[in-house]
Amino acid sequence: MANYLITGAAGFIGSHVGLQLLGEGHVVTGIDNLNDYYDVQLKKDRLSRLQEHSQFSFEMIDISDRQPMETLFKEQQFDVVINLAAQPGVRYSLENPHAYINSNIVGFLNVLEGCRHSNVPHLVYASSSSVYGANTKLPFSTEDRVDHPVSLYAATKKSNELLAHSYSYTHGVPTSGLRFFTVYGPWGRPDMALFKFTDAIISGRPIEVYNHGKMKRDFTYIDDICEGITRIAAKPPSGKQAWSPEDGKASESSAPYRVYNIGNSETVELMTFIETLEKHLNVVGKKKFMEMQPGDVTATYADIEDFAEQFNYRPKISVDEGVKRFVEWYRAYYSK
């Protein structure tokens, strides 16, 4: 049994990870600011599922608020911190850039400082496939350079990796960064494509299909993501003594630092994804084809071989099965 802190515990991924850890018998403290970026009631309903467990406790804290974060780490000794709190969304970063700096940079610094001063044995944090930015070589590998982000959101996630390495190197904080690839499933975010498409199709509204549908994504089901996170959380990285910037892998270091891709390792065309959704809704949706949006990329595809080998991990849920499960949850939750 371990004592976990999950930031962003009322979020899509955070709530699922919390439930899995609680089911394994761990103690979980969750924090979240319950902001109104999307439906607050959905966040509260996710949180209520966690609060059914006696070994879960919740504090309403914004990770960008330094004082309550310092107090939290002083009052508790965590075995693992899983940082999933962030301002998400590529397109929203064009409208409200300050929210990304406050949460994804200032907030992450507060998490790092907490881990440093209370000697947390392992920090696991969310990065993103968006760090690959303008890269065109597929599949995306953690050994690829990621120096050309195409959105502020991507830049903040790359910054998280750089900040994490500096704390791993200077202060010995073991850190594992996870580059998520298009996570979807029940209790998902309303700003994500699957949720938006489902809501629009059921309501009879046209769905907005960007880049005229010529997009490909590595869609990863939430249960597969949770399995990966919990496996990594149990094994903090150690530095590689023989590692050097000239000869070593970009995802490793002489410090206790690692970065992994965590995806389905399969790329699916957007129109195929939409057709799968239409099949499970038993409705053909109206479509409004649109130009590529600023900050978007045409394709994502994860190379997960290093992760798979080290943790004996392979995603199990197909897109067809995952979309089916989402539709079943959506209809039940919204009574549609």
Note the pTM of the prediction, 2 decimals: 0.96
- For the chain, give the percent of residues with pLDDT over 70: 100
Residue 55's Cβ-side half-sphere holds a number of Cα atoms within 13 Å equal to: 16
Asked if residues 222 and 184 have their Cβ atoms less than 8 Å apart, the reply is yes
Domains annotated for the chain, with CATH where assigned, are 3-181+221-265+301-316 (3.40.50.720)
- For the chain, give the percent of residues with pLDDT over 90: 89
Q: What is the pLDDT of residues 259-318, one digit of tens each?
A: 999 999 999 999 999 999 999 999 999 999 989 888 788 899 999 999 999 999 999 999
**pLDDT beyond 80 at 103:** yes
Give yes or no for a cis peptide into 174 (omega within 30° of 0): no
- How high is the pLDDT of residue 91? 78
- How high is the pLDDT of residue 308? 92
Q: What is the pLDDT of residues 112-148, one digit of tens each?
A: 999 999 999 999 999 999 999 989 999 999 999 999 9
75's CB contacts (< 8 A; 6+ apart) are: none
- How high is the pLDDT of residue 336? 80
**Mean pLDDT on 58-79:** 98
Asked if residues 23 and 16 have their Cβ atoms less than 8 Å apart, the reply is no
- How high is the pLDDT of residue 157? 96
Q: What is the pLDDT of residues 170-198, one digit of tens each?
A: 999 999 999 999 999 999 999 999 999 99
- How high is the pLDDT of residue 288? 93
Mean pLDDT of the chain: 95
Q: What is the pLDDT of residues 12-29, one digit of tens each?
A: 999 999 999 999 999 999
**pLDDT beyond 90 at 43:** yes
**Mean pLDDT on 94-120:** 96
Tokens of 105: 């940079």
- How high is the pLDDT of residue 295? 76
Token pair 């994502």 in the structure block, residue: 300
| Residue 260 annotated to the active site | no
- How high is the pLDDT of residue 297? 85
In what helix (H) or strand (E) does residue 137 lie, and over which residues does it extend?
Answer: none
220's CB contacts (< 8 A; 6+ apart) are: 180, 181, 182, 183, 184, 262, 263, 264, 302, 315
**pLDDT beyond 80 at 334:** yes
Task: Please identify which of the residues 4, 125, 153, 167 carries the catalytic annotation.
Answer: 153
Distance, in Å, from the CA atom of 245 to the CA atom of 264, rounded to the nearest integer, reads: 29
The separation between the first and the last C-alpha atoms of the chain, rounded to the nearest angstrom, is 40
Distance, in Å, from the CA atom of 106 to the CA atom of 119, rounded to the nearest integer, reads: 20
Q: What is the pLDDT confidence band of residue 93, given thresholds at 50, 70 and 90? A: confident
**pLDDT beyond 90 at 238:** yes
Distance, in Å, from the CA atom of 331 to the CA atom of 336, rounded to the nearest integer, reads: 5
